[in-house]
Chain A
Amino acid sequence: GAVVSQHPSWVICKSGTSVKIECRSLDFQATTMFWYRQFPKQSLMLMATSNEGSKATYEQGVEKDKFLINHASLTLSTLTVTSAHPEDSSFYICSAQKENTEAFFGQGTRLTVV
């Protein structure tokens, strides 16, 4: 199957700083990428959908100015958590897909804000 790589796997940052998470499709071009958030022992919640070259579509309740998503190429999407606070600590997972094919998930990024 196709490979999606997320970087970093884990990151610790100070409150008030910004953190960028990268999601790359290594061996295919992804027309759409999705960003999910997973709280401890809970399920995945879709945060936003990004299509290459256009603005991301955010789910209700997700602050677009807080979670900046850029999908500059068909193989790379980034999620930037701006002015991070402890409540932003979570496991963030991306998925990438070609049109109407399986969505492939990255390994996730554990963010801890101290």
Chain B
Amino acid sequence: AQSVTQLDSHVSVSEGTPVLLRCNYSSSYSPSLFWYVQHPNKGLQLLLKYTSAATLVKGINGFEAEFKKSETSFHLTKPSAHMSDAAEYFCVVSPFSGGYNKLIFGAGTRLAVHP
């Protein structure tokens, strides 16, 4: 069975400081992993994806994530937070490498950015 655990429900940072949103996954197959962002009452936007290529994945808006198979982790980072980064972030796993079927969502991490 596949699952994803986001270790923090809330993260609060100051503007200009680094962001770390933690995600661990469980998958019987070689998974595809994604990070999506959701602003209030909006749909989801794909930040980045890992599909069995390079383990360090760069996404939009300065975000990146590193796939660590030994730790079953896919943490999201950004060197310097911006006020506009405040949103809900979802770590997502798909059991099929390269596929988007049956996306399984983590519980989400709400990122707050303070001036």
Q: Taking beta carbons and an 8 Å cutoff, which residues of A are in contact with B?
A: 1, 4, 6, 9, 32, 34, 42-46, 49, 91, 93, 95, 97, 100-103, 105-108, 110
The reply to whether B99 and A100 contact each other, CB–CB distance below 8 Å, is yes
| B interface residue count range (under 10 / 10 to 19 / 20 to 34 / 35 or more) | 20 to 34
Q: List 27 A-B contacts (CB under 8 A).
A: A1-B46, A6-B43, A9-B41, A34-B103, A42-B107, A43-B106, A43-B107, A43-B108, A44-B90, A44-B105, A46-B102, A49-B101, A49-B102, A93-B43, A93-B44, A97-B100, A100-B100, A101-B100, A102-B46, A102-B49, A102-B100, A103-B103, A105-B36, A105-B43, A105-B44, A105-B45, A106-B43
A32 close to B42 (CB less than 8 A)? no
Answer whether residue B59 sits at the interface, using C-beta atoms and an 8 A cutoff: no
Classify the secondary structure of B's interface with A. loop
- Which chain B residues lie closer than 8 Å to A4 at the CB level? 43
User: Which residues of B are at the interface with A, using a C-beta cutoff of 8 A?
Assistant: 36, 41-46, 49, 90, 98-108
User: Which residues from chain A contact B46 at a C-beta distance below 8 Å?
Assistant: 1, 102
Give, as a whole number of angstroms, the nearest-CB distance from A13 to chain B: 18
B103 touches A46 (CB 8 A): yes
Inter-chain contacts of A46 with B (CB < 8 A) = 102-104
Report the 6 A-B pairs with minimum CB-CB distance, sorted nearest first.
A105-B43, A107-B43, A105-B44, A103-B100, A43-B105, A44-B105
Question: B98's closest neighbor in chain A, by CB?
Answer: A100
- Do B41 and A108 touch (CB < 8 A)? yes
Inter-chain CA distance A19–B107, complex, in Å, is 27
Chain A nearest Cβ from B45, distance in angstroms:
8
- Complex CA distance for A96 and B98, rounded to whole angstroms: 16
Q: What 15 additional pairs, Cβ within 8 angstroms, besides A102-B49, A105-B45, A107-B41?
A: A4-B43, A6-B43, A32-B101, A42-B107, A43-B106, A44-B44, A44-B105, A46-B102, A46-B103, A91-B41, A93-B44, A100-B100, A103-B103, A105-B36, A106-B43
